[in-house]
């Protein structure tokens, strides 16, 4: 190597050393547990919290030192995550990825718990890495076991945590390519959460299913009659809509309602795939998504068309919310034989 080439190599190396940390830190991930629109915001620093597991494990659960049964609850939650992982893998071949929880006690006036994760996503997603993200979970301060927890707390652990883990695993593979693929990530996450929860806590499974129906009913009452899952249900980017100015309270509610309809319809789509084509179709779909080059929406639609022999693209671009609601009500009544479900 001549001196000129060596000099340029040194310059490029120095620039890389300067840019690399900036690139690594260019995005952060914030996880939160929202209890109410008002109330205090608690920002959690996990550095001094005890934990079950280590940050390098697949699952780690931190717990507040002020929780009387913190260690026992953390062990129980970690065992559940391992159980959920086994069920998800056995049923549909999906994984929760690397996942963490932070258990903190509820206190009067608490409106939101927030954990900020630095050094996230840009480089790690580009390299196909799955960073550990920790989700806060608020529990009663005197809770002894999750089996005795209020239904809402059990729902947060059994359903919501599984949803977040599954969606992150799917998003790491798909969202990087196309924002229009949210119906895959959130829809499969809801379906797997349902699949896991009905084996663990049928009461919570019923709550989750009732929520799907409620989402569609509320959407219909607000005039959402048809829906395009590829355009109306996009992956969120950044703070969303900064260039559009601050939306009014009415606009925010309408957007939130349309988004909730998207969750219900995405769940209904994958529930129908499992019902009519079998859960093995979901497994084969995910195997192909992981194996084949994916550039965006059309590649995913092509795979689904191959597996189902149906025009999936046409179906999800023009969904009748009323028809989806009727399908879910009839199907869930016919195929749900557990728990006190009210459909």
Range from 74-78, 119-123, 326-330 carrying the lowest mean pLDDT: 119-123
* Same-domain check for residues 253 and 305: yes
**Average pLDDT over all residues of the chain:** 85
* Same-domain check for residues 222 and 123: no
pLDDT category at 15 given cuts 50, 70, 90 is very low
118-127, 197-206, 222-231: which has the highest mean pLDDT?
222-231
* Same-domain check for residues 224 and 258: yes
pLDDT tens figures, 114-123: 998 765 444 4
Identify the domain containing residue 122 by its residue range.
27-149
Residue 303 inside a domain? The answer is: yes
Whether pLDDT at 9 is above 60: no
pLDDT value, residue 297: 97
pLDDT value, residue 122: 45
Range from 2-16, 26-40, 99-113, 186-200 carrying the lowest mean pLDDT: 2-16
Average pLDDT of span 20-36: 62
* Same-domain check for residues 135 and 187: no
Whether pLDDT at 137 is above 90: yes
- The number of folded domains in the chain is 2
* Same-domain check for residues 258 and 299: yes
* Same-domain check for residues 269 and 305: yes
Whether pLDDT at 126 is above 70: no
pLDDT value, residue 82: 97
* Same-domain check for residues 219 and 321: yes
Whether pLDDT at 124 is above 70: no
SS3 of the chain: CCHHHHHHHHHHHHHHHHHHHHHHCCEEEEEEEECCCCCEEEECCHHHCCEECCCCCCEEEEECCCCCCHHHHHHHHHHHHHHHHHHHHHHHCCCCCCEEEEEEECCCCEEEEEEEEEEECHHHHHCCCCCCEEEEEEECCCCCCHHHCCHHHHHHHHHHHHHHHHHHHHHHHHCCCCHHHHHHHHHHHHHHHHHHHHHHCHHHHHHHHHHHHHHHHHHHHCCCCEECCCCCCCCCCCCCCHHHCCCCHHHHHHHHHHHHHHHHHHHHHHHHHHHHHCHHHHHHHHHHHHHCCCCCHHHHHHHHHHHHCCCHHHHHHCEEHHHHHHHHHHHHHHHCCCCCCCC
* Same-domain check for residues 183 and 143: no
pLDDT value, residue 152: 94
Average pLDDT of span 196-214: 93
Range from 120-129, 151-160, 184-193 carrying the lowest mean pLDDT: 120-129
Residue 48 inside a domain? The answer is: yes
Whether pLDDT at 111 is above 60: yes
pLDDT value, residue 67: 96
| More confident call, 322 vs 249 | 322
Whether pLDDT at 198 is above 80: yes
Supply the pTM of this predicted model: 0.85
Average pLDDT of span 166-181: 92
């Amino acid at each position: 190597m001549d001196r000129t080439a060596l000099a340029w190599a040194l310059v490029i190396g120095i620039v890389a050393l300067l840019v690399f940390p900036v690139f690594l830190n260019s995005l952060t991930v914030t996880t939160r547990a929202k209890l109410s629109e008002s109330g205090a915001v608690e920002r959690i620093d996990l550095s001094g919290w005890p934990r079950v597991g280590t940050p390098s494990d697949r699952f780690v659960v931190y717990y507040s030192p002020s929780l009387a049964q913190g260690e026992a609850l953390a062990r129980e939650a970690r065992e559940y995550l391992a159980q959920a992982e086994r069920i998800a893998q056995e049923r549909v071949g999906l994984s929760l990825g690397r996942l963490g929880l932070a258990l903190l006690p509820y206190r009067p006036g608490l409106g939101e718990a927030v954990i900020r994760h630095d050094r996230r996503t840009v480089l790690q997603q580009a390299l196909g890495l799955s960073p550990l993200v920790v989700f806060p979970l608020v529990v009663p301060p005197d809770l002894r076991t999750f089996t005795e927890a209020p239904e809402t707390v059990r729902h947060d652990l059994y359903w919501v945590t599984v949803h977040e883990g599954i969606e992150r695993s799917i998003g790491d593979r798909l969202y990087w390519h196309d924002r229009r693929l949210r119906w895959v990530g959130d829809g499969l996450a809801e379906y797997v959460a349902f699949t896991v929860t009905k084996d663990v806590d049928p009461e919570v499974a019923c709550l989750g299913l009732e929520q799907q129906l409620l989402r569609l009913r509320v959407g219909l009452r607000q005039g959402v009659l048809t829906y395009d899952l590829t355009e109306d249900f996009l992956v969120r980017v950044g703070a969303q809509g900064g260039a559009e100015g601050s939306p009014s309270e009415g606009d925010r509610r309408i957007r939130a309602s349309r988004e909730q309809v998207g969750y219900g319809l995405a769940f209904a789509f994958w529930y129908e795939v499992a019902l009519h084509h079998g859960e093995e179709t979901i497994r084969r779909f995910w195997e192909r998504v992981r194996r084949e080059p994916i550039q965006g929406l059309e590649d995913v639609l092509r795979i689904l068309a191959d597996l189902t022999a149906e025009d999936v693209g046409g179906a999800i671009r023009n969904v009748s919310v009323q028809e989806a609601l009727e399908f879910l009500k009839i199907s869930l009544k016919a195929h749900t034989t557990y728990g006190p479900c009210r459909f």
